[in-house]
Amino acid sequence: MKMLVVEDEQGLAESISAYLSREGYRCEMAATYAEADEKMYLYEYDCVIVDLTLPGGDGLQLIETLKKRTASTGIIIISARNALEDRIKGLEVGSDDYLTKPFHLSELNARVKSLIRRRNFGGHNEIQYREILVQVQARKVFVNQQETVLSRKEYDLLLYFLANIDVALTKASIAEHLWGDHIDSADSLDMVYSHIKNLRRKLVEKGSGDYIRSIYGIGYKFGTA
């Protein structure tokens, strides 16, 4: 999978590409409009992450040219602009997703994975992690071929974990993933805990390994490492 990160803030671009590289993507970076345009002209990418305010031009313009050239490329906009009109405009020119800065890298990663899944399999796909199998289209979870019934939030939580295996996830990023950014009270963090407890119980009951580990002061990690 080849990715292009178009972001003029050097540090942020590095963080994104480091995070995504760890997930096994090949990441390239472009810091200006011209550079991004040139790279997109020369190479083909599976997914492009674009900041809207770029030196030398508007990210939306970039997306439009890209869409005309190779329509199959997945596009995620990362922008500091949070207005509905910007989101709508972004989706209109052909982007697949819109993330407002500041965002969690884990959230970006989850969105990238979901996007690639949608593009490559049209959603008819399965995620397998050891004995856990998720049928994405049907929203069903199996552990050792036994179906486990999860609530909506527990299912979303599991998917988020599966997108970020062996990565420390902060409680805030989990809460935001589950409830959007309009829940900002301390309660949501407690609720994260209660959902994780339930998910863990339901998975272990069906005979799965206990993959969710809590990291003191930070959050949780899903994986074996």
Partner 1 sequence: MRLLEKTNRIYLLFSVILYLATALAFYGIIKWLIYDEVENRLLVEKRDFQLYIQHYGWTANSYFVENKIEVELGSVPSGFKESFKDTLIEDRYTQKLVPFRQLTFYESIKGVEHRVAIRKSMIQSYRLMEAITFTMATVLALLLAGTYWFQDRLSGRIWQPFYETLSRIKQFDLVRGQHLQLDQPDIIEFRELNEVLQKMSDQILHDYLHLKEFTENASHELQTPLALITAKVEELIQSEHLTENQTRWIQTIYEASLRMSRLYQGLLLLARIENRQFANEQPINLSDQLLERLRDMEELFQYKGIRLHTNIDAPFWVNLPPVLAENLITNLVSNALRHNVPQGEIWLYATDSDLCLSNTGHPLQNAPKDLFSRFKKEGVSSESVGLGLSIVKEICDQYGLQIHYTEQEGIHKFCLSNKTVVA
* Residue 197 CB neighbour total at 10 angstroms: 11
Contact between 18 and partner 1 per CB under 8 A: yes
Amino acid at 4: L
* Number of residues engaging partner 1 in binding (CB under 8 A): 43
Geometric angle at alpha carbon 173, from 197 and 182, rounded to 5° = 100
Instruction: Output the six-digit token pair for 51.
Output: 């900041």
92 near partner 1, rule: CB under 8 A: no
| CB atoms closer than 10 angstroms to residue 14 | 14
- Check residue 167 for interaction with partner 1 (CB under 8 A): yes
Binding flag, residue 19, partner 1 (CB under 8 A): yes
Among the listed residues 2, 39, 81, 118, the single contact to partner 1 using CB under 8 A: 81
Region near partner 1 per CB under 8 A, out of 38-46, 65-73, 138-146, 213-221: 213-221
CA neighbours closer than 13 Å in the CB half-sphere of residue 140:
10
Binding of partner 1 at residue 63 (CB under 8 A)? no
> 1, 47 in Cβ contact below 8 A?
yes
Interacting residues with partner 1 (CB under 8 A):
9, 11-12, 15-16, 18-19, 78, 80-85, 100-106, 153, 167-168, 170, 172-173, 181-188, 190-191, 194, 215-219
